[in-house]
Structure 1
């Protein structure tokens, strides 16, 4: 059965289309134009109580009943559990997946997101303060990732939902004012991720 993906052209939205493609799950895209406030529509609120994209509706949820899931990290975990893909069965092997998924959710997302926000301000004084603060932290997080990827292909022991979570934000590195040449391990990982057919297809969704 086809999963309904409610999404828009953002890093968090990309996470889910990438995961769905990599997992080989059939899905249909319903664009939620956040530039026009579509995320505040009452019908979308029923699916996403926080008025944020992405969200999904799976008509074949637990027990064969429809289920809606919001928050990108929760969606990734749900899809991984549903398919048995990109989340190791062994608890010990799951630990780095959980760690790096939470790293993205708690740090490498909120911090670059602040950079996006301050870049959009008109006051040069406000922009200068915010950008200095959040660009430093964003670069620190790139450094954390670069060290982690030294001598390894993926953030965990194998390709996982943690990689899907992070790639959508590294995709915005130019907007973060980050040159990936400064973080060669991240650059190598990112190029390998973007060369994957499933990731490439995921980045084509949505087209808007």
Structure 2
């Protein structure tokens, strides 16, 4: 079976949708965050506290020797050593007795962005693929217009999202060239055509 492979050196939501059966939506999305910090006089401000999701925060004291976590209880005001307060902007405060102690905080914050969801059961659907590109004539150094058309393709592929600094995120898609339907646009039922402007 004929195949066409595409690799993009970044994460591509469009390729995720076509190759993995993903569903990408744009709007308000949430992130799960974990921060560690030492509590100071005047409190500790969460990095994304300005968009903190209400009641999503959990605060723990971290033991310096065992790393054991002791939960603190959120209160509206006047906390004790086992309690803390947090403002709508993400400023955490406790008692002076907890100043200098290490905190571990988990919370959820929100931002406008895109989210791609994978159900594990949704399969990609067939589509028409058209790729326009240019080649250079070695003799004349002039541009030659080109177009590749696959009249019916089914996408598959991989998504590689890495946090390693030297490893790029990549999206790959392998297009399965399928037998197309005969249409007014493609009366001969060709699976694929390539055109050169020469």
TM-score (structure 1 length as normaliser) = 0.17
- Which of the pair is proportionally richer in strand? 2
- Which of the pair is proportionally richer in helix? 1
Larger radius of gyration between Structure 1 and Structure 2: 2
